[in-house]
């Protein structure tokens, strides 16, 4: 139910992308490489548009929803507790996770440019489970590149990112460890409150100081 609800919202979110940028209707997810390329190009275009973090959020929301399987990631992070959660609590968590995910992109990728992402080194190769890995990197001035390994699986809507490994560190593993700890200490309510607080901190940190 949660996944169907969130995936249904992708169609509505696509109209946001057409209205606010980047890439207009060009959201290609028909192959693993297309999905990663679409994401990176969209991040660059959103950064070039500038604006406030909330404006970048609106510009990126449909892009992130279309290129990531956010309901899957959220459920996987709470795999042990998921079956015991009420539907309303699952929905609250996924909504908070989605907003935090998009806001993180809006906050952390506001300065990317045409030379930020290295050309894709490999992609479209499938493992035994049918998942694909796309390898690229982020360039940094006077510092070594940050390697990026995108893990994707295929859904009815196309290829979606389910994990990103940066310099050997799995984002999904970090999220799962953090969310399990928060849940153990305060249940779903404490977890949702913390995700909402993290989102608000990103907003505050991105507001220019007078």
Model confidence over 54-80: pLDDT tens digits? 999 999 999 999 999 999 999 999 999
Q: What is the model's pLDDT at position 49?
A: 87
Q: What is the model's pLDDT at position 148?
A: 95
Q: What is the model's pLDDT at position 103?
A: 97
Q: What is the model's pLDDT at position 120?
A: 87
Produce one character per residue of 170-184: b if its CB has 16 or more CB atoms within 10 Å, e if not.
eeeeebbeebbebbe
pTM value is 0.84
Residues of the chain below pLDDT 50: 1-25, 209-210
Q: What is the model's pLDDT at position 56?
A: 93
Q: What is the model's pLDDT at position 1?
A: 43
C-alpha distance from residue 102 to each of 1, 93, 125 (Å): 22, 14, 27
Q: Is 190 helix (H, G, I), strand (E, B) or coil?
A: helix
Q: How far apart are CA 203 and CA 9, in angstroms?
A: 23
Q: What is the model's pLDDT at position 119?
A: 87
Element (H, E) at 158: strand 158-166
Q: What is the model's pLDDT at position 177?
A: 96
Whether the CB-CB separation of 124 and 132 falls below 8 Å is answered with: yes
Q: What is the model's pLDDT at position 126?
A: 78
């Amino acid at each position: 139910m949660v996944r169907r609800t969130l995936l249904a919202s992708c169609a509505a979110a696509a109209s946001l992308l057409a209205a606010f940028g980047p890439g207009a209707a060009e959201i290609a997810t028909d192959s693993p490489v297309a999905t990663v390329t679409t994401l990176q190009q969209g991040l660059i275009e959103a950064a070039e548009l500038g604006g406030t973090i909330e404006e970048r959020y609106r510009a990126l929301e449909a892009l992130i929803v279309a290129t990531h399987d956010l309901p899957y990631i959220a459920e996987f992070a709470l795999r042990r507790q998921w079956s015991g959660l009420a539907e309303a609590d699952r929905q609250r968590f996924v909504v908070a996770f989605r907003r935090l995910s998009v806001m993180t992109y809006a906050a952390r990728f506001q300065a990317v440019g045409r030379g930020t992402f290295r050309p894709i080194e490999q992609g479209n190769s499938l493992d035994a489970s049918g998942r694909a890995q796309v390898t690229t990197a982020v360039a940094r001035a006077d510092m070594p590149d940050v390697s990026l390994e995108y893990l994707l699986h295929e859904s009815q809507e196309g290829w979606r990112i389910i994990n990103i490994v940066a310099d050997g560190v799995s984002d999904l593993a970090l999220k799962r460890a953090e969310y399990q700890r928060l849940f153990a200490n305060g249940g779903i309510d404490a977890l949702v409150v913390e995700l909402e607080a993290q989102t608000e901190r990103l907003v505050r940190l991105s507001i220019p100081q007078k």
